[in-house]
């Protein structure tokens, strides 16, 4: 049985998913782990802080129709963290979630990077919990899921919808991460802890 951990980080757009995923990747790399970050947002900005620049997206290269090699899509960043950006259509044009599956299937044909790491982090937008964004879980790509929120209404609303989606997919919520905005008059941690409890989960970081 594979010991590679595949972890999805969900949350409302702008809540700090990419920043958190990058910091987790960097911390794990500093501990000697081999890490791959898979950016699943059409904005393709998940790896900027690790690589120091924007990198080409897999979907753009696939649509170009030319031959793709590993070095075209897998880039090395801070402390050896491997990074890929799935990319995908803008909102209203197509399903970015399904693009994730296409990109991962294609990646397996040109690279063994998914088998050469200890941890795979999927940075997944979750403003709208649609069938496409459930695809990584339904296809068995993800075994653990974390939700990032703050103590504010809209991030909590999005986080609650994401948790419902995970429940429908029989995927346990491994924990809630609160990216503090210093909101709720100093009660933000209390709100995040209560929210996690209501989801039968736990606040793992604040």
Q: pLDDT tens across 168-202, in order?
A: 888 889 999 999 888 777 899 999 999 999 999 99
Q: What is the mean pLDDT of residues 37-61?
A: 91
> What phi and psi values does residue 186 have, to the nearest 5 degrees?
85, 0
CA 15 → CA 71, 129, 181, 195, distances in Å?
31, 16, 9, 16
User: Is the pTM above the cut of 0.95?
Assistant: no
Quick one: CATH architecture of 5-205? Answer: 3-Layer(aba) Sandwich (3.40)
Active site residues: 12, 17, 43, 127
Q: What is the mean pLDDT of residues 25-43?
A: 93
Long-range contacts of 193-196 (CB under 8 A, 24+ apart): 195/149, 195/156, 195/159, 195/160
Residue 194: how many CB atoms within 10 A of its CB? 13
CA 104 → CA 86, 143, 171, 175, distances in Å?
8, 15, 20, 25
């Amino acid at each position: 049985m594979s010991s590679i951990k595949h972890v999805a980080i969900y949350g409302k757009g702008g809540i700090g998913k990419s920043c958190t995923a990058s910091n987790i990747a960097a911390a794990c790399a500093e501990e000697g782990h081999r890490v791959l970050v898979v950016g699943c947002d059409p904005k393709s900005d998940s790896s900027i802080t690790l690589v120091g620049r924007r990198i080409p997206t897999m979907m753009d290269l696939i649509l170009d129709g030319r031959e793709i090699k590993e070095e075209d899509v897998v880039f090395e960043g801070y402390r050896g963290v491997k990074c890929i950006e799935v990319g995908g259509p803008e909102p209203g044009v197509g399903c970015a979630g399904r693009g994730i599956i296409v990109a991962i299937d294609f990646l397996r044909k040109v690279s063994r990077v998914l088998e050469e790491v200890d941890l795979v982090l999927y940075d997944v937008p979750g403003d709208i919990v649609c069938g496409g964004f459930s695809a990584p879980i339904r296809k068995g790509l993800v075994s653990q899921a974390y939700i990032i929120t703050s103590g504010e209404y809209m991030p909590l609303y999005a986080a609650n919808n994401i948790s419902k989606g995970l429940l429908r997919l029989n995927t346990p919520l491994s924990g809630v991460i609160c990216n503090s905005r210093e909101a709720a008059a100093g009660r933000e941690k209390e709100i995040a802890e209560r929210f996690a409890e209501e989801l039968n989960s736990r606040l793992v970081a604040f």
